Structure 1
């Protein structure tokens, strides 16, 4: 067969008037597509290279000469299948060989194809189909092997697509068509699919790894097509069972492309803000994507390879959610979606596509608190799943696991490594050496080791590795990279057996501080304002505005040792920070007075941060005007024993977090007690929207809290009167419609009944009883205030 194939390739015609050898070459390729003989490519590489070059030349010439000839069409479709197999089913073939076969030699060949596309008048010309499949294979290859996206051919191809197809009125016209809830299948022409699917996929693969080499910025792209994209996803996420195959592929690749724009240059929050101009729009988009991944009929079509539209859709949806959860302060909203953890667990358990499993696990690691992860008992399976992938990737010559590069695996695990249960399982499995061994080649491993080093068993394993300890000491002294030096100092700090014995130098320079402010640099703006207010009031305040250089851990320690009080500025970014964790722990060890303040709306402390601050009260800067927050903070700093009732107790939006975390929340009020917070009026009509929300959550009315999110106390009374005096069936139907619109769930009659009962009870609580309950809660708060222990 070898000699015959070589001879056939040598005489392939470039003129469509000749078809000699076409059918025979097709037959040989079809057999190879079935057999996947591993020797075929290595033995016939030169002939295959000639065949691919021949195909590019034919595609770049006048298609009308061959497009209607069955022999040519059969060969092209067979070669397209062969190229897809080359990407997915020949792991032993070097990526450079694959690139040589798939990527054309010259820009002229690409330009020839584009010229034919631009001349074509028939929107259903089969040439669009051939070219789309041909380009899709290149996009697949670049997506799986991003190191080749710097090829001049690939750069030219995508820049041309950006100029001539993406940022055009034609692209917008197709997007407007897709916004209609009922779509005629006739709009899905081969030209439309080329624009929406193929061009989006090509740009997605290109931008996912590119830094700057593109003629348009992310902002320009978002401004041009962003609003139309958001409308398409919102409209069709409510009618998924009506999707056609062509609509599915369009939506999948639009989500992928927009996600790539948002992730352009890494974790770029600004890009996401260009797309989602308000919190409401972002919440609506998150809900839409959750509806899509919750559609169970998709699950059976997920394959181990990226070859079905359902697989691509689920991968891109999870990629989009992961980007949002890691860059936006919206974990509270993810946690309000009660069914989401079960959905992600189902996807992770059923999916045979490992990247999809990994994305689902990473999102779970982000949105669930440590106690909830323990309750679900998924950390063991998650750890084993990850280490199996990493070890196989390390052993493979390509340094990939099923097309997932090691760096991508490590980047995903950097999130999971901050989870206490994952840290313990890693130590139990003795996997610390894996990260040590690859730390030179993959510097992100040092950041993972820093997170893992908060675990005592891990600390012992690291200390026993004398070579690695020597490496750390050397890096701490000689490394020129500021970030790497900070990480190594952080690991070494954690590995000190005890900081209680640390020698505190005698303070002769008079530089002592009343207060130290510990914060994440993403919260720098408001922390500067707090710093300025404190200094105006005569306090000596230490705060790191310029991000310390040199040994940052020693600088941090000295600041703590010179301070009497530490203000811990709580936010999701603070909890995620290894440095902030070390700083807060050392302040606790030194028995500084800890004053927590909340800077992120809806954030509820969990994990190490919750354990550290115990039952302490915090000042909620998201609830009060800044001036009022400062006044409360001053009182808290000055108080010897806290009795300031206006400071918010560490509540957890009790219902939601109790369901998701299953832990005893600080200062939680039992359901038999009054659920009114110390600052909530006894009169329902005086309640704000926040009061209503907190009251509903305190009573575990989760669905009602979402359904009545914009309802204040007066509105609550009106609603109760409507239900009481209106026509029952009509009222229930209206509430049912509203429930579907806002929560995508059926109305819970149990919650609705309980809500009415609570309203009636609240309306008849005597003032004397309300005051007794108020005093009882305040006394409990004061007693628990002293309970701050590291669990």
Structure 2
């Protein structure tokens, strides 16, 4: 150990002893009460200098020090806060000294972004109590200032929102914040803050974690949210080292917000990607705190086809990402591999999908897959997920699960697993929806027309946004609601129903299809022209009397003949047997199926929306070909899988 490091250790020890002494609380409350314009030397040393030294200390004892400080101060601080600031007028005007003092106290007690994990239940309980106090204060301020917040209350609001933001960085506290139903309060503070950028930033960073898709749709100001983040990120980049923490936290929050389609669209519209490219490409930025979230944001934006083309055409970016695929940092390696797969390889697999679907396999023939089940999940939900895995394997089911966290599995492996699995379990939670990696897996499963079974992983979870659209018409298996044993039986029941419905089908091995085309039965009506030339197509007018006898080309011809081409992509790859099931589902729940088909058409990138007239026309025209009696059993899950 060098002399300088020894001196630093001694100085930190002295700082911690002083900050953890009763003197700190006494001086803090004295300054808060008197609001002086200047601090004495003693006050400045204990309240500013020592806290600043501790905040930026990165030694081995850091976690131990922070926990000691929190145990010492959180209880009295919460008591002082609740007594000093009720949120009701008149408000105390903070001096610049008080602003500075609160900032240092916030850094010392509450920052979770500096790798200061919460290690004790005592600290977490104290944080929850402080959260409740902050909510009460902010509610009173909001109710007392329904039009515009009193200017003297602005500094208090800023600081309290900053504390709430730090709390959102802890997963358990984030859940607690969501349950407090703070969305309306955050919106009210935004509306009445007279466009205070600092309040907007902090409120939006809190909202990024606690709001659902429905909340952001109600905001109707995704453009404002985007502009605030772009402005602060640009200023932080230009500000250099002193603003690093703000840059890192803003990127971190924005990464969460990009799960929402509206935010993605606005970021592209306002060309925010230029900032993310700087963070990703330039050497001065921290690899894990700036480059990583910037790349994750770019990956989320790449789900927009036009933006994906822009990224793919940026040779400097693509070459840099290729180098990162061999980065020693596993997270950087993962997101870079995902970007390469999304921008370059996904299109190849999509072409392969279309080619496979163009082969006419008899409706009485199904392909035996290598795996029974592929599990798509977020690492945050691994405990429940692996419990499900263990039960499936005990029941002799062949399961593929992504073990990249241990073995570095590639996205090629993920794609092959989806292609080779009979079922894909989509394990839904907030963490799953927020992950662009999970979105890639689920979206690819949809493109492959896999049989998807959505699994609810967390209590009271409701899928929304892209995940809600993807699973909207499927039957969920809710493990927290049903309990593990009952939910697992329901999962097995869904698997069994699908297989029973296909019990009369002939199984053929997957490699037989790949290597021996004679296993494919070609029932294509040779007189039907290619559907690629829709405008010049003269469809077959006479169809077999029973819809179950229709081939895929009969289905295409029917849709074109009845001027229902808007449904072509939604029903792509379906034969008459599957279309019959769609009709049965429509009869069982016309409104739900209309919503499902409408969303499916929207996902297919058509310029027109499915109208109610088109939907009712489809039902009216198709019923002529539906047998009056059928022994088929309705199986919503298997049909919905083909719908997508």
TM-score bracket, normalised by the shorter chain, equals 0.5 to 0.7
- Superimposed CA distance per residue, residues 554-591 of structure 1 (whole angstroms, 9 cap, x where no aligned partner): 12222222322222222211111121111111122222
1:375–1:384 Cα change, 3 Å: same
Distance apart, 1:618 and its partner CA: 2.1
The alpha carbon displacement at 1:613 in A equals 1.0
1:377 aligns with 2:230: no
What residue number does 2:162 align with?
Answer: 319
> Cα–Cα, structure 1 residues 242 and 312, in superposed 2: closer, same or farther, change >3 Å?
closer
The residue number in structure 2 matching 1:417 is 258
Runs of 5+ unmatched residues, structure 2: 286-290, 357-367, 502-588, 593-633
- TM-superposed deviation, 1:486: 0.8
Farther off after superposition, 199-208 or 433-442: 199-208
Q: Which runs of 5+ in 1 are unaligned?
A: 1-106, 108-149, 303-309, 644-666, 671-780
Q: In the alignment, which residue of structure 2 is the partner of 1:167?
A: 20
Residue of structure 2 in register with 1:428 after alignment: 269
Q: Match for residue 339 of structure 2?
A: 491
Cα distance in structure 2, aligned partners of 1:337 and 1:568: 29
Output the CA distance in 1 between the equivalents of 2:32 and 2:329. 56
Query: For residue 297 of structure 2, what is the aligned residue in structure 1?
Result: 448
TM-score (norm 1): 0.52
Larger Rg: 1
Name the counterpart of 2:608. Answer: none
Question: 1:437-476: CA deviations, max 9, x gaps?
Answer: 4423332322221222122221011122223223323332
Q: SS at 1:514's partner residue?
A: strand
Aligned 8 A contact 1:267 1:327 in 2: no
Q: Alpha carbons of 1:366 and 1:535: their partners in 2 closer, same or farther (altered >3 Å)? A: same
Q: 2:306 aligns with which of 450, 454, 457?
A: 457
Residue in 2 aligned with 1:597?
A: 455
Tell me the equivalent position of 2:181: 336
- Corresponding residue number in structure 1 for 2:422: 564
2: CA distance between counterparts of 1:243 and 1:213? 42
Distance 1:627 1:403, change over 3 A: closer
Distance 1:227 1:669 in 2: 54
Any conservation in 2 of the 1:617–1:785 contact (CA below 8 Å)?
A: no
Q: Is the 1:621–1:629 contact (alpha carbons within 8 Å) kept by the matching residues of 2? A: yes
1:408-445, Cα deviation, whole Å (9 max, x unpaired): 54344333333321211222334434422442333232
1:211 equivalent in alignment to 2:58: yes
Which of these residues, 304, 324, 329, is aligned with residue 481 of structure 1?
329
For these two proteins, the number of residue pairs brought into alignment is 487
For the residues of structure 1 that align with 2:184 and 2:142, how far apart are their CA atoms?
9
Q: Contact (CA 8 Å) 2:281, 2:317: kept in 1 or not? A: no
Give 1:526's aligned residue: 384
Q: Is the 8 A contact 2:321 2:336 kept in 1?
A: yes
Residue in 2 that maps onto 1:471:
320
Using CA pairs under 8 Å that are at least 6 residues apart, name the structure with larger relative contact order, 1 or 2.
2
Summarize the Cα distance change of 1:401–1:596 in structure 2 as closer, same or farther, 3 Å threshold: same
The counterpart of 2:478, out of the listed 611, 616, 620, is: 620
- Kindly indicate whether the alpha-carbon contact (under 8 Å) linking 1:332 and 1:603 is maintained by their aligned counterparts in 2: no
TM-score (norm 2): 0.63
Q: Is the 8 A contact 1:158 1:202 kept in 2?
A: no
Distance 2:129 2:207 in 1: 23
Change in Cα spacing, 1:280 to 1:163, as seen in structure 2 (3 Å) is: closer
Deviation at 1:211, TM superposition (A): 2.8
* In 2: Cα distance, 1:514 partner to 1:783 partner: 19
Counterpart of 1:603 in 2: which secondary structure?
coil
Change in CA separation of 1:293 and 1:572 when aligned onto 2, cut-off 3 Å: farther
Q: Which residue of 2 aligns with 1:722?
A: none
Q: Deviations over 1:256-282 (max 9, x none)?
A: 635644435635553585422399747
C-alpha offsets along residues 213-251 of structure 1, whole Å, 9 cap, x if unaligned? 657433323333333334444555646436655899879
Q: 1:340 to 1:435 in 2, by over 3 A?
A: same
Return the match for 1:581 from 439, 452, 456.
Answer: 439
| Distance of aligned partners of 1:546 and 1:462 in 2 relative to their CA distance in 1, 3 Å threshold | closer
> Is the 1:193–1:250 Cα contact (8 Å) retained in structure 2?
no
Q: 1:244 to 1:465 in 2, by over 3 A?
A: closer
Deviations 1:641-699 (A, max 9, x none): 999xxxxxxxxxxxxxxxxxxxxxxx9999xxxxxxxxxxxxxxxxxxxxxxxxxxxxx
Aligned match of 1:287: 135
CA pair 279-411 structure 1, distance change in 2 beyond 3 A: closer
Q: Aligned residue for 1:116?
A: none
Question: 1:301 Cα shift?
Answer: 3.0
Q: Structure 1 pair 246/271, CA: closer, same or farther in 2 (3 Å)?
A: farther
Counterparts of 2:140 and 2:60 in 1: how far apart (Å)?
A: 33
